Chains A and B, each alone.
Chain A
Amino acid sequence: MINTQIMLIKRAIWYIVGLLLFYAPFALYQKALFGLVNYNKPADIHSLCLRMPLLNLLLGKWSLIVPVVMITLFLFFMFAIIFGPFFCGRLCFAGALPEYLSRLIPDRFKIDWVTGINPIPVRYGFLAGYLITPFLAGSIACAFCNLSFMQRLIDGGFWGEFGVLSSTNIITFFLWIILFGIFTKGGRGFCNFICPIGAVQSLVYSISSRLHFTYKLRFAKDKCISCGACVKACSMGSLQKEPDNSITYQIHNCITCLQCQAACPKNALTYGTGKSGWKDGITLVNNEPSIQESIR
């Protein structure tokens, strides 16, 4: 319990670092990078958006593809390959906000989407739709972006001026903070279902975690007592306890926040390099009898 609380505080500090790094008026990352490549543009979360660079790429406007975006893209993928969904698990303040807010609401008011709907086809379906949409109806990148709305909240001092909102902004806020946020178990429904950044990172992580040198959530089967503490702590619902007491792990929506590691009383879950320890490497089902059952 104490470990869980400490982990929550540690993560909150990381997310605040994320806020300082990427959001105006701080935007320390952008300012440092802009200084490095002598790029004279306003520094806020929009300056990292890939919408315009990808559009320029598709239209063949190579000269408009700025080094800032290329460097960011490179770092994003390198971190995802080596450390897993590092951005989601450590730095994404927009993802953390509804999670922490949802902790203030009693569980009986929250919907457990993940047990009813498999989030994996939904999040990859969204990613596929997100990539197809520009060719059919125009990009939805800005219209439904929670990171952009986060910048609005910061600009307006959280309780102040949100600026002029469009219908899509209002829908985004409702889904991100209200329906899939504070009224969702774990508070990360938006991350689970409709975040293209998270989906790309998960895709990369699901492949890179097969490599020995990369960091991943590891499982020590011999230490697990199937107590379910990790399942309760997992805000993404990527760990589930099956009726046969086995613990299943879905790597495609794990953000390696390591809240499960802190909650595990037997240190059966750790984050590090080497073998993952989950059955089948990626399908990741621990359906062997637990120690508790063996003792019985």
Chain B
Amino acid sequence: MKRLFGFLAVLMVMSLVLGACGTPATPATEAPAADVPATGEKTVLNVWSFTNEILTMAVAFEKSHPDVDVVYTMIPMTNGEYQTKLLATLGTAGVPDVVALEAAFVKSYVESDFLADIGDLQKYADELKVYPFVYEVGMADGVHKAYAYQATPGALFYRRSLAKEYFGTDDPVEMQELLGDFDKYIAAAEVIKEKSGGDTYMVSSNGDFQNLFFANREQPWVVDGKLTVDPMVDKMVETVKIFRDNGYEARATQWQEGWFAGMNDTLTDAAGNPKKIFSYFLPTWGLPYVLYPNSTSSDGASTTKGDWAVIEGPLPYQWGGTWLGVMKETKNMDLAKEFVRFCTLDEENLTNWATGVYTNEYLKAIDPTVPDDQYQAAGDFVGSQVVVEKIMASFDESEMSKFLGGQNSYGGFAAAAPSVNARLMQGSDDAIQRALNDPLNSYLEGTITLDEMWATWKDAVRNEFPDLIID
């Protein structure tokens, strides 16, 4: 009997605690002062992102909306922390009002039930002539759920000095003629290999190509719940095989040492022979964030600054980008929409963003607590054609244009942007494409046949997508 009593006592304590756990979402502590304005308290808007980029716009937003306090949370996505955190918060009271979504996973959110319909912003997008692919990514079944401030068309960067050496010209127009489609690009790779005696590679890694071919498919990966391989994917496999077998590719891996070393001309093979890389496929953000910072070696001895040029390249494509969406559960729907409109579809903000108006001093004047390294340098390529055309000329003398040997950096992307198509993007793309990397590399190394490669890939996709129909 005593034992029973003790057990009951424990049970009671437990049920109290569990009961307390059973009712999360205590709005009293969590809810911002949303419904009680005018008491001097600011309305809180929770924004989550994976870089500190959008913080700049959040501060600028507070300037034009003094009654709003944007609470900005940055969670890195180096190893997928951001996605994991966001996934874990879905459906709980902890969801933010506005979320930043990266290209790799924006579609899975747009396709899900978690983002609100923000289609009433489309009129602003039409007004500012936003590139269709930019808002198409944020659409599912005809409903607009996310917008982006930037457009991220891809381009081809090449070394001017090497172009002169092997083709007798470094002029972007002539080079676009020479490299305008993949047959020409392969022929040019052969010329470079022959003339350099194999010391200059056309590209650094086979990963560089994949976005181009994937962006030019005619069917998405999943058609009516069935895994589908577009002929363009076969073409990609064929092309990377040619590049590997003929030694046009340096066998580096994207985002790794050898890939970066080629950018500042310090690549050496294992025996110590110097090697050069002729071209890199990179999108808009690749210029200021990847190519430019890596163009000088760590000891400062070797630099390729001023030796680059940018052209559209063999195929139009887009790579990366950040979209903003509003969570359905937000308690500040109108304000959240207004924040998305301000960040992505406001002419003044986009102009300020792209032309370097948002300096650290500018942001500090609004909010003195802004970190010292928070600012937005000029040069991000924005999604509005209206803004792009207005500000293009201001980049003639910019740092990035000097880096490109005097070529207007903005102009190169403006030429590439209209032909980009992102209609085929699906939530499962990233995982399906990643699953191809390992079998593709095994095929390139000759350890498996082409048929085995497809079979291995299908097994890997099946493992991650139990509901997909795969023959």
A binds B: no
Instruction: Report A's interface with B, CB cutoff 8 A.
Output: none
Instruction: Report B's interface with A, CB cutoff 8 A.
Output: none
